[in-house]
Amino acid sequence: MFAGLLGAAGVALAAVAAHKVDDPALATAAQMLILQAAAAIAITGNMRRAHHPSPAVIRFWAIAAVMLLAGAALFAGDISARALAGTRLFPMAAPTGGSTMIAGWIVVAIAGILELRSRAK
């Protein structure tokens, strides 16, 4: 559900960036929302198709999806607030969101390794 909402917000933000507000940062925020939403959907699909995954592997996949979505929301929310309202969510909100997305992708890698190891057993 959250991935769908972020994806929709990303498309709407892309439309605003293309037609109303001439700020490349807004287009970047839209791209981050769309990409992370798609990644979260792919992660949850992978969780469903995994062959007898361990609870730890499922937890890592879920944590990764949450981190990607939360990071994207924070990053894009701050960039959008700056571009549209001239304010920010809070100091360091965009870098915190970006760092959360980076960490989320690292957790994706860890989850993938754990899943491969659990299949080898």
Residue 76's alpha-carbon distances to 1, 43, 51, in angstroms, are: 18, 21, 35
The total number of structural domains that make up the chain = 1
Kindly give the confidence (pLDDT) of every residue in the chain, 121 residues in length, as a single tens digit, with 9 standing for 90 and above: 899 999 999 999 999 999 999 889 999 999 999 999 999 999 988 877 766 678 888 899 999 999 999 999 999 999 999 999 999 999 999 999 999 999 999 999 999 898 888 777 6
Containing structural domain, residue 18: 2-120
pTM above 0.95, yes or no: no
